[in-house]
Structure 1
């Protein structure tokens, strides 16, 4: 028992140890730039659309993660969308692009293929021909996401920072309290009662 306690203490001390430079100052972890894993350039993005909706997998029972965009359109019941905002200004588009190309080492995100997936936000990237060139669907509850193939390797971006950005840009629908979760469940149950959702 003492040996186990000793190991726990040692591991705790190691995990709390910060990197220090030659003068003993604590170094800040460097941001990991994963631009090489994105198959399109910032300059190709002409506009971005951001959506919110109730937990999609609770009402969109026919589709899986990768089948939500087809023929340059959202391929699910768009009447379930609560909010939509459009980013047209390059500085805002760049701010968002920077958020998804930089990986977050210390955030502790769950792996992208976690069994938990309750997506409530969708981000669409368009080129100047109004064609969707990439998309990301995010589950902030679990820290997971699903995206188009050209963003597949780029799942470990800082989702907390992304959430702050979306809030700042006007997205208000987030289920991040027990009260909001109960409210969403009541809404989805009412849809089932009206036969809008098929089990």
Structure 2
């Protein structure tokens, strides 16, 4: 009788795990075209998009603390992007910009996952900056690839529905652009 009970528990646990996995699958859920996506904020107003990595300069602070402070000090629409402030920078190509907007606006879960675990690490080392024609920062996404969390400069803009694979796709854009810190190297 005990063996039968344990077998039942094992099968039930496996079934729940399978359902959780199926519900949590990240897929192309929307079909916004490149033209439609380029009309969404901040892509509609950006002349170029920069991606960066940022290493804390002060010892004995939590990783990401300085990037958070720096980004919070940015005056949106007034501050000019200064490449010298960051450890690594890259400008996205039109193809990468299209890929970024596709990831943000078209990918989502098949269904909401049954379980979502909280992560408290938030130590961002990377960001995406949207710049206007005069190189003013008009929007940003601050990213912690360690815990798959982010913050944006504007409540009307987000990374869309969360799904783990979305962060892997974003990481690939950073890697292809030559950004290593926060992606494949973390000190």
TM-score tier after normalising by the smaller chain length: 0.5 to 0.7
Q: 1:162 aligned to 157, 166, 170, which one?
A: 170
Q: Residue in 2 aligned with 1:84?
A: 89
Q: 1:105 aligned to 96, 109, 112, which one?
A: 109
Q: Confirm or deny: 8 A CA contact 1:136 1:146 kept in the other structure.
A: yes
Greater RCO (Cα-Cα under 8 Å, separation 6 or more): 2
Q: Which structure 2 residue ranges, 5 or more long, are not aligned?
A: none
Please tell me the root mean square deviation across aligned C-alpha atoms, in Å. Answer: 4.2
Offset, 1:170: 1.3
Inter-CA distance 78–133: structure 2 relative to 1 (3 Å threshold):
closer
Q: Which structure 1 residue ranges, 5 or more long, are not aligned?
A: 20-27, 185-199
Q: Distance in 1 between matches of 2:176 and 2:158?
A: 26
Q: Deviations over 1:173-194 (max 9, x none)?
A: 1365xxx54xx2xxxxxxxxxx
Q: Confirm or deny: 8 A CA contact 1:139 1:145 kept in the other structure.
A: yes
Q: Deviations over 1:71-120 (max 9, x none)?
A: 54389x98662101112x422211122122234428x8x77x74210101
Inter-CA distance 123–173: structure 2 relative to 1 (3 Å threshold):
same
Q: Confirm or deny: 8 A CA contact 1:65 1:146 kept in the other structure.
A: no
Q: Distance in 2 between matches of 1:118 and 1:14?
A: 32
Inter-CA distance 32–73: structure 2 relative to 1 (3 Å threshold):
farther
Q: Distance in 2 between matches of 1:117 and 1:163?
A: 16
TM-score normalised by L of structure 1: 0.61
TM-score normalised by L of structure 2: 0.65
User: 1:1-150 residue pairs with structure 2 within 5 A?
Assistant: 3=5, 6-16=8-18, 30-33=27-30, 40=41, 42-54=43-55, 57-58=62-63, 60=65, 67-71=72-76, 72-73=78-79, 81-87=86-92, 89-105=93-109, 114-149=119-154, 150=156
